[in-house]
C-alpha cells in the first residue's frame, strides 16, 4: 500500500512538470527574460566572470584580419592619384611658386613623413602598383615584368581602373616621346596588362580621356593620373605644375561623383635626398603627399612615417584586396590617422 502511494505521488509530480513545460512553450515565455521581455541586468563583475560552455555563435567569431584592417580605412568609391616629379618635401611645402598645392596641403591632410622607395623614377612607379621594384634600378624601357599588379586585383574584385597619361600618343603606347615618358607609366611594364591588347587599350589611355570620362560620368574606381614631362615639374618649373594642378582640381571639385566618399592623392615619385625609412635599404627622398576627401581630416598633418608601399597597402585595404609584395611587410604602415571615424 505504501509502495503504491509512493508511485502515485511520483506520477502526479511528473504530470505537473509536464503541464508546466507545455504552458511555457505555448506562451513563448522565456525564464531568462523579465516580465517586460528584457534580459535581467547582471552586475558587471558577474558578467565578466561567469563562464560559458555553450558553442560560439556566428556573431561571436572573431573577425578576420582583413575585415579588421578594412574597418580602419574608408571604402572609397573613387581613388585618384596624381603624380608629380622629383621634388623634395622642403622644395614644395611653403614654396610660393606652388600656391595651389600648398593651399590644398593646408586645407586637407598633409603627410609630413612620406618617403619614396629609391632613385631614379621608375622603381617608385612600379612600387606604387606592384609592391616591389623587381630588382630594377634604372629608367629602363625594355625591363618588362611578368607579375601581378594592382589592376589585376581591382578587376578580380569587380572594380574598374584606368591610367590617364598626358601626351601619350595612343592607348597602350609603348615607348617615349619628347613630352611623354614611358618610365612614368608603370602599367605598360606589367605583362598581364601590356600583352592583353583589348584590356590595355581600354584602360591605359591619354589624359584627354579623363575629361571625357568626367563629362559622361564614367570615372573608374581607381585612376592614376600622370602629367607630361613639363606639367609634372620634371622639365618645367613648379609654377607650371601648379597651374596644371589648378585646372584639374577645379574640374574634379565640380564633379558630383567626387563630392562624397572619394579620395584624391597628390604625391611625388621621389625627392632629391637619400632619406632611408621604414625598412627600406635605399632612400628615395622625403616627399609631400596630400590626401583630399570628405572622409579625411581638414587642416591635419600626419607625422607617421610612410612609404609608397603604404599607399598601395591603404588602397588595397580600402577595397579588401590582397596585399602585394612589400605592401604586406610589417614595416609598411597602413595610413589610418587621417580618416574621420563615423
Q: pLDDT per residue over 247-266, tens digit each?
A: 999 999 888 888 899 999 99
- Residue 199 sits in a domain of what CATH number? 3.40.720.10
Residue 259, preceding bond cis, omega within 30 degrees? no
- Residue 65's pLDDT is what? 38
Residues 319, 120: Cα–Cα separation, whole Å: 30
Residue 189 lies in a domain: yes
Residue 143 lies in a domain: yes
Residue 81 lies in a domain: no
Residue 33 lies in a domain: no
Confidence of residue 23 (pLDDT cuts 50, 70, 90): very low
Give the domain extent around 115: 99-328
Residue 335 lies in a domain: no
For 327, what's the count of Cα atoms within 13 Å in the CB-facing half-sphere?
Answer: 24
Residue 230 lies in a domain: yes
Helix, strand, or coil (residue 243): helix
Confidence of residue 246 (pLDDT cuts 50, 70, 90): very high
- Mean pLDDT, to the nearest integer, of 289-307? 98
Helix axes 99-107, 238-253, angle to 10 degrees: 50
User: Which pTM was predicted?
Assistant: 0.80
322, 309 Cβ separation under 8 angstroms: no
Residue 9 lies in a domain: no
Residue 312 lies in a domain: yes
Domain count, the chain: 1
Amino acid at each position: 500500500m505504501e509502495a503504491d502511494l509512493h508511485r502515485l505521488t511520483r506520477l502526479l509530480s511528473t504530470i505537473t512538470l509536464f503541464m508546466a513545460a507545455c504552458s511555457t512553450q505555448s506562451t513563448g515565455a522565456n525564464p531568462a527574460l523579465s516580465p517586460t521581455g528584457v534580459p535581467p541586468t547582471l552586475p558587471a563583475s558577474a558578467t565578466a566572470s561567469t563562464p560559458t560552455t555553450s558553442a560560439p555563435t556566428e556573431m561571436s567569431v572573431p573577425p578576420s584580419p582583413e575585415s579588421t584592417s578594412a574597418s580602419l580605412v574608408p571604402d572609397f568609391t573613387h581613388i585618384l592619384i596624381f603624380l608629380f616629379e622629383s621634388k623634395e618635401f622642403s622644395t614644395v611645402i611653403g614654396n610660393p611658386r606652388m600656391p595651389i598645392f600648398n593651399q590644398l596641403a593646408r586645407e586637407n591632410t598633409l603627410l609630413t613623413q612620406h618617403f619614396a622607395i629609391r632613385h631614379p623614377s621608375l622603381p617608385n612607379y612600379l612600387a606604387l602598383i606592384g609592391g616591389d621594384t623587381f630588382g630594377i634600378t634604372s629608367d629602363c624601357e625594355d625591363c618588362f615584368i611578368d607579375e601581378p599588379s594592382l589592376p589585376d586585383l581591382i578587376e578580380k574584385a569587380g572594380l574598374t581602373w584606368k591610367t590617364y597619361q598626358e601626351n601619350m600618343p595612343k592607348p597602350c603606347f609603348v615607348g617615349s616621346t619628347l613630352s611623354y615618358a614611358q618610365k612614368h607609366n608603370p602599367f605598360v611594364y606589367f605583362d598581364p596588362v601590356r600583352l592583353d591588347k583589348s584590356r590595355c587599350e581600354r584602360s591605359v589611355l591619354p589624359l584627354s580621356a579623363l575629361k571625357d570620362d568626367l563629362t559622361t560620368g564614367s570615372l573608374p574606381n581607381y585612376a592614376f593620373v600622370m602629367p607630361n614631362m613639363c606639367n609634372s615639374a620634371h622639365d618645367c618649373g613648379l609654377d607650371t605644375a601648379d597651374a596644371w594642378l589648378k585646372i584639374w582640381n577645379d574640374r574634379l571639385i565640380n564633379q558630383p561623383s567626387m563630392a562624397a566618399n572619394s579620395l584624391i592623392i597628390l604625391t611625388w615619385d621621389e625627392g632629391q635626398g637619400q632619406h632611408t625609412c621604414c625598412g627600406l635599404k635605399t632612400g628615395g627622398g622625403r616627399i609631400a603627399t596630400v590626401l583630399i576627401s570628405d572622409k579625411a581630416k581638414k587642416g591635419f598633418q600626419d607625422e607617421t612615417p610612410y612609404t609608397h608601399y603604404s599607399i598601395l597597402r591603404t588602397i588595397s585595404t580600402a577595397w579588401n584586396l590582397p596585399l602585394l609584395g612589400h605592401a604586406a611587410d610589417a614595416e609598411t604602415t597602413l595610413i589610418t590617422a587621417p580618416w574621420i571615424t563615423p
